Every structure is written in structure tokens, then in C-alpha cells.
Amino acid sequence: MKHNLYRYILGIADNSLILGQRLGELCGHGPNLETDIACTNMSLDLLGQVRSYYQYAAKIKGEGASEDSIAFLRKEREYYNVLLVEQPNTDFGYTMARQFLFDVYHLLFLTELQKSSDLTLSAIATKSIKEVSYHQRFSSDWIKRLGDGTEESNTRIQTAINDLWTYTDELFYLTDADKAMVEEGIGVDVATLKDAYYKTVSEVLEEARIEIPESKYFQKGGKQGIHTEHMGYLLADMQYMQRAYPNMEW
């Protein structure tokens, strides 16, 4: 139970950590000032949520674990985020497509997590949901602006959606820890979110004049710690300071 809960919390929190890291990469590099600020604000929201999850996970783990050791000192195979969130900021279209495809899921997920019998998790969900609804508004807006914009913006956002589509199915896959937590009344049965997810996503894409990809080829692995080639680079960047200067603070 203890091990499953720990693993379950990491599964939730790692999504936010890795997506937060990706968004943070845009700090000072956004396409314009407003979107730069928006991306870093969303990153900050996600990292704030992550702190609450990891503090809770550290308490469960004991053995001197802390939010920082959990965030910065695990190996690649010990991160359980979905593959979607680790995909790079290839261009602004990819950044918004990744955000949108995750936000829709995230909001549905948190809505259910609010009902968790675990009071800490339900409190974090209730807190986060208010923030994530702003994220979804922002990313949906951009999907529509890019899709319904110029020929160039439409082509690029369509390419991004096509490429990232292959990572969407993993969102609804349950690991053993997930299943155990669903049984305890703590976890969310993500498989049940699938229909609502594709419905919302399709509605926005249609409004944005973006074609819904037909491909049924889906990739997964992140939830089991098996990541795409991008993850190692991301972690090298993210963990550098703690690895080079153990226990550093600022």
C-alpha cells in the first residue's frame, strides 16, 4: 500500500514536473513577451503543485527523502511521467499542442482526484484545478488562433498535433500502482476519462480547422519509466546543479 501510494503520487507529480521544466525552458525565449510570461507562469503553477505532491511523497517514503531529492536525484528510469510531456519545444506550435493535449487530460483528471479518499491528494487537486482551468483556456485559445490563422500557422499546428497524437493514448493507461490505488478509492481510473477527453479535444480542433489525426498507432512507456530519447537531455539540464554541487541551495 505504502509503496503503491508513493509510486502513484510520483506518477501524477512527474507529469507536472517535466512539463513545468519544458515550459521553463522558454523563460526569456518565448515568441513574444506575453506568451513568454504565460508559459513561465504555467510552469510556476505546475512546479508549485509538484512541491505539494513531493512533500507528501517524501513523508510517505521517509528514509531522509525530501521534495528536492525526489525532484532532482532520481535516475531516468525512476521518473513515471507520460511521454507526451517530455516532448521538446520544437516550435511554438509543438509547445501549445503539447500543452493543450495535456491540459484537457489534466483538468479531467484533477476533477476526479478531488473525490479521492486520500485527503491530501484531494486538497492538492482542489487547489490545482483552479490553476489548470486557466492553462486549458490559454492553450485552447492558441490552438484556435494558430489553426484558424494563416496557412503557415495552420500547417505547423497541424504537424504538431499529428506528431504528438501518438502520445495521447498513454494518458489512459493504468499501471499496477494505479490499479491498486483505484481499488483503494484513492486513485482515478483514467481509462474512464478517455471518451470525454477525445470529445473535448475534437471539439477544439474542429473549431480550429485542424484535422483530427486518424492514426491508431500509439506509443507508451513513460508511466513505466521507459522514456523517449528526449528525456535524458531534459534531466541532464534539470539535474545539473544538484549533481555538480550536491545539496547546494540558493
Partner 1 sequence: MVEEQQHIDEILIPILEQVSDPEIPVLSIMDMGVVRSAIIENNLVKVKITPTYSGCPAMDVIGDDIKAALKKAGYESEIELILAPAWTTDWITPRGRKALEAYGIAAPLEAEADKDVLLHGKRIVKCPQCGSTNTRLVSQFGSTACKAQFQCDDCHEPFDYFKCLK
Q: Which residues bind partner 1 (CB under 8 A)?
A: 34-35, 37-38, 41-42, 44-49, 51-52, 119-120, 122-124, 126-128, 130-131, 134, 137-138, 141
Helices (H) and strands (E) in the chain, counts: 10, 0
Cα 233 to Cα 26, 79, 82: the distances in Å are: 16, 14, 16
Q: Least separation, in Å, of the C-beta of 71 and partner 1?
A: 14
Give min distance, CB of 141 to partner 1, in A: 8
Q: At what angle do helices 176-183 and 2-24 cross, to 10 degrees?
A: 120
Min CB(138)–partner 1 separation in Å:
5
In the block, cell 491540459 appears at 103
Least CB distance to partner 1 at residue 125 (A): 10
DSSP state of 249: -
Please identify, using beta-carbon distances, which residue of 120 and 228 lies nearer to partner 1.
120
Dist CA 20 CA 42 (whole Å): 7
What is the C-alpha to C-alpha distance for residues 37 and 79, in angstroms, rounded to an integer? 27
Neighbours of 232 (CB within 10 A): 12
Give whichever of 16 and 81 is closer to partner 1, judged by the CB atom: 16
Measured between alpha carbons, how far is 164 from 36 in angstroms, rounded to an integer? 22
Pick between residue 22 and residue 223 the one whose CB is nearest to partner 1: 22
Nearest CB to partner 1, comparing residues 120 and 153: 120
User: Least distance (Å) from partner 1 to the CB of residue 173?
Assistant: 26
Nearest-approach distance from CB 117 to partner 1, in angstroms = 12
Run of H or E residues at 23: helix 2-24
Q: Closer to partner 1 at the Cβ: 14 or 45?
A: 45
Name the residue nearer to partner 1 (CB basis): 133 or 162: 133
Length of the chain measured in residues: 250
Q: How far from chain centre, in Å, is Cα 116? A: 20
